[in-house]
Chains A and B, each alone.
Chain A
């Protein structure tokens, strides 16, 4: 009769010096353990949380202050139309229209986050889909998508953005058969159009590697179709890079929205945006510093926070990757 050593079936216990056992941890636990040690990322996360909060409660803040973002206060400009500085009621001073810079900065948070997050979501969805398809199918599909990505990346981004924004603003019908109309939709479209390529290229590279692994062969041998393999087997393995790149694309898109608004090609002037506010301020910086400083600081800290968070997530999710 054969006998089995029961100790062979039990999980190995490794004793280390001091008698403590090594504890098995899930990937989530490992991520959290590493992430919480990154104080800068935590600070960024905290500021982003703060931004999200004030974006949500912007109307409440406006109500408490007693000024709407587009309320015009003629007493807040002097006789030749120069804006007046911070007061007890106008914490950040007024702009050239006599509007409250504080309330507009708060509302600008809402605009920047909304435009950046929506545009980033569209860009990520597009980039992930096309990158996955290109990497998975390879051949002419990969060639076609990769060359499109190359062409997009080689375009002078800002010039094309300006051109599209101008062309689509010439009539209320917009452009592309009315698909894109002047205003917020146009800005989101332009940002998404020029930012999907980065993530598509990253995803394609990852998919090319993953599709060669044995579990993909196993899945195919069990009868899984291409769609299932791509989106149920491969895609879950790409969550980490997608999250990391998304957090890094968001601040770039916040800045992109600001560029367009700065150039007067973004949102209508009655939609508060930091870029638009800074653009207005450039004419007045010698006499009204507050118009530039406050939205500028919010823009700076927002992009910094998202970048710190993105770096922290990368370090936590991919500890082997070097900076």
Chain B
């Protein structure tokens, strides 16, 4: 019995020990998870990025000219500072400007025509310049924007807005009369009209200071991109080796930190002249010691390397196997955020049958938007779009607005036919475009060979055929080439997709719907809304027999002059007007940005301004990096 009691006691001890062991292990597991999730991010490590296509938006990485969101990510997070900047966080807060180089958000005169900013003391250019930033450096940046040879990608935000800038561009003046400085730290902008989003325009990379002693050596498109002088926490590797004595000595050495060739690279290191005291943690935390970007055309390989921690981040479209695991095994690595981008099919208002609003409404009703969403990656790729401007830049306005909503977003044949019956192209009123009419097809539409556009073709063809529209959709290597030229009279274009340049709908309304924005070459306003007969003659595109095209220029001007809530309300009303009364598009998706990182990334933040990883806030666990 004694023996038995001993055995029982022994067993009890084993049980207690086992329970204690389990508790200890659970506690350890929980605490280690807690450390990983909420522990203090570590400083150090090189953030390694691979991207599919090594392109920098036509400007060769020159901040004055490059019109590419990923370039802006690198500039704004890491390299250069504008008067106003961003928090580099997700959501609405990430779209709002905050002071960066400037001491505050600037002061605006009572008539809204003069904006004045004061520059923080102590901000210095990186090597090889090593001097304090002056207001005149910002003046020079604006002169570069107005220098034709620089080919500034988004000069339209400034040329007609700042007094005298167009004259400088046209070489009628040697200075921009609307930009004045007081001392080295104050700069004022005089505007031609009240511009409620001017704070955004001065936050753009092109508006950041450039030292003239370097910039003036590189005033042809793309040249300055290899010599960008930083004001931010990081700079190109090799900048310290440059000799800025003259243009000749400067050009004698090329910094090793940037090679713009298709197989090139970016290598950023810390800027020794950056003083964190002149910046805020809200804007930049600068945990990493540097960043490298390399090209890798093999997308599957990029993601394979991410999964093996050989690469920390990517700029590529997620492969299906990644998407498949995005919500399960990779849920801590795959991040989705609002993309501030609308995907749409554009209809040409000057070309039959889309010169008839009833046809445009009919196709909006017939399209199976749910199928299109699935083809782009389903719920991971975004949400169904019911209007034009992403709700994220309307501060949540019109979130549930969709006048062409159908059951399950699968299209509604009855509603589509009812609209088609009112069209001039359905004379027998059977709800189908009349078969004998040339306008009813085949309607030629070039589209991209690449998915998801190529995948959309069956959905579009099948849907349109239900209301008698026969589509001839051809896959071409670059569908934007024919679509960008109004003379080609492309009636229907499936490649439409537009993301904000900054967090204001003007960046949609002006380039896409403002009549004077229509260009005969490289045109993005595919619908030709607001085109005049004179423009049509100049561009050699057909013009409707009715003699006019709908026009929204006055409405855009009115909204543009406003500020604050009134401005957003105005844009929301304009969006409704476009969606219901003009109907130039079939908006089908408000995009989500999907971003995959390795498990080396211990702190991930999304930058809403640029739409990519906020490198200003990320941190790494270097012990997990493979091959670093």
Chain A residues engaging chain B, CB cutoff 8 angstroms: 70, 72, 74, 77-82, 96-99, 166, 169-172, 182-183, 263-265, 268-270, 280, 283-284, 286-288
Contact = CB atoms under 8 A, between A and B. Distances in A.
15 contacts: A70-B458, A72-B368, A74-B368, A74-B374, A74-B410, A78-B378, A80-B380, A97-B455, A170-B476, A170-B481, A171-B444, A172-B442, A263-B449, A268-B475, A286-B319
B320 A284 contact: yes
A269 B370 contact: no
Nearest to B451: A283
A81 B462 contact: no
A183 B324 CA distance: 34
Interface in B440-475: 442, 444, 446, 449-451, 454-455, 457-459, 461-462, 472-475
A286 B374 contact: no
Nearest to B372: A81
Q: How many of chain B's residues touch chain A, expressed as a range?
A: 35 or more
Nearest 10 CB-CB pairings of A with B: A264-B449, A80-B378, A172-B444, A81-B374, A286-B321, A182-B474, A169-B474, A81-B378, A169-B476, A269-B457
Given A170-B476, A170-B481, A269-B475, A72 B459 contact: yes
A96 B410 CA distance: 17
A288 B444 CA distance: 32
A166 B454 CA distance: 15
Contacts of B321: 286-287
B320 A270 contact: no
B374 A80 contact: yes
B444 A74 contact: no
Interface string B418-453: 000000000000000000000000101010011100
A171 B340 CA distance: 32
A72 B371 contact: yes
B488 interface: yes
B472 A172 contact: yes
Contact of B458 (A72, A79, A82, A264): A72
B524 to A, nearest CB: 19
A265 B448 CA distance: 11
Contacts of B380: 80
Interface string B475-506: 11100011000001000000000000000000
A77 B319 CA distance: 16
B320 A79 contact: no
Nearest to A282: B300
B226 to A, nearest CB: 32
A213 B605 CA distance: 85
B323 interface: yes
B379 interface: yes
A98 B458 CA distance: 10
A71 B488 CA distance: 32
Nearest to B300: A286
Nearest to A284: B320
A264 B454 contact: yes
A287 B476 contact: no
B458 A97 contact: yes
B552 interface: no
B459 A169 contact: no
A96 B455 contact: yes
Interface string B376-396: 111111000000000000000
Given A72-B371, A74-B371, A287-B324, 20 more contacts: A74-B374, A80-B377, A80-B380, A81-B374, A82-B324, A97-B459, A98-B371, A166-B477, A172-B444, A172-B472, A172-B474, A264-B475, A265-B475, A269-B454, A269-B458, A270-B458, A270-B461, A286-B300, A286-B320, A287-B321
B482 A170 contact: yes
Contact of A283 (B319, B378, B458, B472): B319
Contacts of A74: 368, 370-371, 374, 410
Nearest to A166: B477
B64 to A, nearest CB: 33
A226 to B, nearest CB: 44
B375 interface: yes
Contacts of B442: 172
A49 B461 CA distance: 33
A185 to B, nearest CB: 12
Contacts of A269: 454-455, 457-458, 475
Contacts of B462: 70, 72
B205 to A, nearest CB: 34
Interface string B310-337: 0000000001110110100000000000
Nearest to B449: A264
B444 A80 contact: no
Contacts of B482: 170-171
Contacts of A171: 444, 482, 488
Most buried by B among A70, A80, A284: A80
Nearest to B475: A264
Interface centre among B371, B458, B481 (most CB of A within 10 A): B458
Contacts of B370: 74
A171 B485 CA distance: 12
Contacts of B323: 80, 82
A163 B476 CA distance: 11
Given A182-B472, A182-B474, A170 B375 contact: no
Contact of B375 (A97, A183, A263, A270): A97
Contacts of B381: 80-81
Contacts of A280: 451, 455
Nearest to A74: B371
A72 B449 CA distance: 20
Contact of A268 (B326, B373, B473): B473
A288 B324 CA distance: 11
A230 to B, nearest CB: 41
Contact of A265 (B376, B449, B488): B449
